[in-house]
């Protein structure tokens, strides 16, 4: 007994006519009769009552029809799901990202994934001071957007685009694009930013900027979340330094002033990951990143 025999049986059970059924399944009437007879012999039960004019189901046939319809439907749905997994159209993926792309690049990526792969489930994670390499290698995440490439022989990375770093000040602050000459102008200000003691790439970049400006900032409030920092700056509680992507948050009451410093965005993933889902998402990421690149 095989699935094809069951399919022939179910169609015949619906049509109750050998000729019409043979037409539907594209085999001869005699071949169909042999297939059904072989199925009955294997099961040891009679499935149809036959005479020269009529074909009808036996009690055993009706019982198997009800059971096998459910079974075949489940098999078909299972096969379809497996095919979609193989094509990367369904499944599950864990993505981590820096908060700075949550108002610009990340929403664009998620919107494209949602429209192209609507059955894919995504889990988003915004780590603060964690090693992206470890998260990838222990399978906590499958794809990591980061400001620094993950340097590990088992991990592949790609630079997506660059963007400016900006000083963020309250809307009525005295510093403007026109009178800005350097970060040292803000040495008397209160800063709101991520902790400079962290080992993250961004904290290292901030330390470099302040070293070049030759002063130690007074950090009045520490936060790892850019949206919180923007809200605090808008309340005149201090100034900050953030990637320009945060400008897309359109927070009222703040102004962005470009400084002469760029920051990269990378995508990182396991080299040995053969997931079709990952392949499809990387294609979308690469395609959309072209619109964020500044030549």
Whole-model pTM: value is 0.70
Domain endpoint, select from 87, 106, 137: 87
Do 112 and 155 share a domain, yes or no?
A: yes
C-alpha closest to that of 119 among 96, 92, 140 = 92
- Output the pLDDT for position 222: 93
Do 257 and 182 share a domain, yes or no?
A: yes
Do 148 and 271 share a domain, yes or no?
A: yes
Phi-psi region of 236 (alpha: psi -120 to 50; beta: other; left: phi over 0): left
Do 171 and 34 share a domain, yes or no?
A: no
- Let me know: does 203 contact 194? Beta carbons within 8 Å: yes
Q: Tell the residue number behind the tokens 């800063």, with chain if given.
A: 191
Q: Please, what's the b/e burial string for 168-180 (b: 16 or more CB within 10 A of its CB; e: otherwise)?
A: bbbeebebeeeee
The token duo for 128 is: 């603060």
Domain endpoint, select from 37, 60, 87: 87
Q: How far is CA 51 from CA 16, 31, 71, in A?
A: 12, 18, 29
> CA-to-CA distance for 16 and 171, rounded, in angstroms?
80
Angle between helices 59-87 and 276-289 (to 10 degrees): 40
- Number of residues in the chain: 295
Is 130 buried (19+), middle (13-18) or exposed (0-12) by CB count in 10 A? middle
For 274, residues 6+ apart whose C-beta sits below 8 A from its C-beta are none
Do 143 and 284 share a domain, yes or no?
A: yes
Do 278 and 258 share a domain, yes or no?
A: no
For 248, residues 6+ apart whose C-beta sits below 8 A from its C-beta are 103, 104
Range of the domain at 82: 3-87
Torsion from C-alpha of 187, 190, 195, 200, nearest 10 degrees: -50
> Within the chain, which residues score under 70 in pLDDT?
80-90, 128-130, 294-295
Do 22 and 109 share a domain, yes or no?
A: no
- Output the pLDDT for position 9: 87
pLDDT tens for 195-219 read: 888 888 888 999 999 999 999 999 9
C-alpha closest to that of 130 among 101, 108, 104, 97 = 97
Give 78-85's long-range contacts (Cβ < 8 A, gap of 24+). Answer: 84/119, 85/276, 85/277
Q: How many domains does the chain have?
A: 3
The CATH number that applies at residue 30 is: 1.10.10.10
Do 156 and 275 share a domain, yes or no?
A: yes
Do 244 and 106 share a domain, yes or no?
A: no
pLDDT tens for 71-84 read: 988 887 777 656 65
Do 131 and 188 share a domain, yes or no?
A: no
pLDDT tens for 164-182 read: 999 999 999 999 999 999 9
Phi, psi of 159 (to 5 degrees): -80, 125
Do 277 and 251 share a domain, yes or no?
A: no
Do 279 and 189 share a domain, yes or no?
A: no
The CATH number that applies at residue 197 is: 3.40.190.10
């Amino acid at each position: 007994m095989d699935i094809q025999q069951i399919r022939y049986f179910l169609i015949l059970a619906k049509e109750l006519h050998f000729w019409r059924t043979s037409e539907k399944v594209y085999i001869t009437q005699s071949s169909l009769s042999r297939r059904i007879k072989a199925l009955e012999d294997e099961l040891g039960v009679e499935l149809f009552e036959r005479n020269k004019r009529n074909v009808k189901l036996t009690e055993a046939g009706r019982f198997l029809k009800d059971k096998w319809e459910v079974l075949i439907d489940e098999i078909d749905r299972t096969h379809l799901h497996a095919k979609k997994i193989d094509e990367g159209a369904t499944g599950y993926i864990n993505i981590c990202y820096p908060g700075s792309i949550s108002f610009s690049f990340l929403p664009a990526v998620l919107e494209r994934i949602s429209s192209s792969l609507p059955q894919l489930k995504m889990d988003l994670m915004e780590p603060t001071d964690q090693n992206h390499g470890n998260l990838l290698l222990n399978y906590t995440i499958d794809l990591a957007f980061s400001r620094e490439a993950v340097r590990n022989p088992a991990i592949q990375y790609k630079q997506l685009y660059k963007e400016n770093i900006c000083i963020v000040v309250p809307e009525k602050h005295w510093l403007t694009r026109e009178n800005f000459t350097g970060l040292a102008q803000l040495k008397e200000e209160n800063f709101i930013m991520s902790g400079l003691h962290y080992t993250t790439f961004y904290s290292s970049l901030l330390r470099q900027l302040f070293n070049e400006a030759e002063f130690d900032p007074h950090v009045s409030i520490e936060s790892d979340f850019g949206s919180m920092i923007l809200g605090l700056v808008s309340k005149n509680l201090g100034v900050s330094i953030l990637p320009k992507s945060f400008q897309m948050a359109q927070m009222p009451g703040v102004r962005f002033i470009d400084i002469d410093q760029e920051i990269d965005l990378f995508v990182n993933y396991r080299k040995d990951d053969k997931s079709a889902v990952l392949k499809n998402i990387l294609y979308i990421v690469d395609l959309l990143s072209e619109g964020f690149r500044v030549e």
